[in-house]
Chain A
Amino acid sequence: MNSHPLVSIGGLTFNVSNCLSTLIAAIIVFLIFFVLSRKIEMRPGKAQNCLEWIVDFTNGIVKSQFPNKSEARPFMLYAFVLFAFIFIANQLGLIFEIAVGGKTYVKSPTSDPIVTMALGTVTLVLSHFFCVQKFGFMGYLKSFAKPVSFLGPINLLEEFTNFLTLSLRLYGNIYAGEVLLDLLVKLSHTLGLITFVGVMPFSMIWQGFSVFIGAIQAYVFVTLSSVYISHKIVAD
């Protein structure tokens, strides 16, 4: 694997490939939504229909996790942006991966555990924030002692495992996809033209499958995020 270029600014160190890829994915997401939302009318055009379909899709994910539909409203925007961002980020590394001098500059940002954990942190913080907002701080503390008090440590542990599984599932899937793609590329260079042509169909198949995995993982991440948030704010 290629190593990652590091840049240190004001005492903080940044991994250029992570930051650049995140930025590119964010810009692509913004541009897509910006272009699709130019003409908003009562009778939708093609672009608006497409955007509304995505909105309906992510709203459906959130709504299906909340028994009370009015409580689902604050998370719809989060689910919408999160889904789009992860989906684009997953596909980014499949479309192009730029490496200069043995250092990777652009790849899937989600193939790095730090990025997925940052996204998982957003879900984690949101779930705890809304739990405190709904039940008050004492209610929030009491929620760890449910259904019985001696399960408190396990509930506490669950917060960490939820966070880790949520983040690392996404990272593992995308990272594995990129590793296999990398290996296929390396294999294609071993024996010149024969392996180059021979490996090509496998590479294409795996890329297609990776697109599928990227979409599924974006869906899973958003679904589990809303599950964790609804689990925190629904009084049982």
Chain B
Amino acid sequence: MQTTLWLAAESSSLGDTLFVLISFIILTLLVKHFAWGPITQMMDKRVKKITDDLDYADNERQEAESLKQQRMTALQDSKAEAVKIVADAKQSGKDQRQSIVDQAHSEAQEINQQALADARQAKEDAMKSVQSDVAQISVDIASRIIGRELSVTDQKDLVDSYIKELKTSNETK
């Protein structure tokens, strides 16, 4: 009895093993509570944040890419449009010039013709008025001849003036 107890007391295997196990488990729990828990939580959070940020950046880049594409096409469209506008403007300017020139031509012609017609009309009117004047004058002369006592000289002068008058009226004709 005494010897077995002494032997049992001499071997420290069980006590040491239990001590190491218990202290290791307590150490694990303490480390888990104070260091492991917070640090792994934070690392997971960081992993999630980085993943989210990368996804976000990817999305943004794609959006920017599509915007760039849109801008490029818009720029090209606007270039073509500008060329078209310039061409149109040139064409319309040319057309307008042509029409203005044509109009001016036709107007000038019209004015010319109008002027010619007016001149002719004026000439005719003048002729008409001259003729009526001549008739009136002849009538006046005749009445005056008839109304006055005519001397020879007077007669001669009268005839002369008459002829002269006729001559001038003939010349003017």
Contacts and interface: CB of A to CB of B under 8 A. Distances in A.
Contacts, number: 115
Contact of B19 (A18, A33, A34): A18
A59 to B, nearest CB: 9
Interface stretch (A7-15, A142-150, A212-220, A223-231): A7-15
Contact of A12 (B14, B26, B28): B14
B36 A26 contact: no
A109 B30 CA distance: 20
A22 B21 CA distance: 10
B23 interface: yes
Contacts of B167: none
B171 interface: no
Contacts of A37: 34-35, 38-39
Chain A residues touching B, majority SS: helix
Interface in B1-58: 8-21, 23-24, 26-28, 30-32, 34-36, 38-40, 42-43, 45-46, 49
B35 A36 contact: yes
- In order of increasing CB-CB distance, the 9 nearest A-B pairs are A118-B20, A37-B35, A33-B35, A15-B12, A12-B15, A14-B15, A40-B38, A26-B27, A118-B17
Interface stretch (A47-55, A93-101, A151-159, A181-189): A47-55
A200 B19 CA distance: 36
A230 to B, nearest CB: 20
A22 B38 CA distance: 26
A14 B31 contact: no
Question: Which residue, of B20, B28, B36, has the highest number of chain A Cβ atoms within 10 A?
Answer: B20
A122 interface: yes
A91 to B, nearest CB: 16
| Chain A interface bracket (under 10, 10 to 19, 20 to 34, 35 or more) | 35 or more
A80 B9 CA distance: 35
A76 B23 CA distance: 19
A180 interface: no
Contacts of B27: 26, 29-30, 81, 85
A15 B15 contact: yes
A121 interface: yes
Interface of B: 8-21, 23-24, 26-28, 30-32, 34-36, 38-40, 42-43, 45-46, 49
B34 A12 contact: no
B45 to A, nearest CB: 7
A55 B16 contact: no
A175 to B, nearest CB: 15
Contacts of A115: 16, 20
B28 A48 contact: no
Contacts of A118: 16-17, 20-21, 24
26 contacts: A4-B12, A12-B15, A13-B9, A14-B12, A14-B19, A19-B20, A23-B23, A26-B23, A33-B31, A33-B34, A42-B46, A42-B49, A55-B40, A55-B43, A77-B28, A77-B31, A81-B27, A81-B32, A85-B24, A114-B13, A114-B16, A115-B20, A117-B17, A118-B20, A119-B20, A121-B21
Nearest to B5: A11
A6 interface: yes
A17 to B, nearest CB: 10
Nearest to B26: A26
Contacts of B18: 12
Nearest to B30: A30
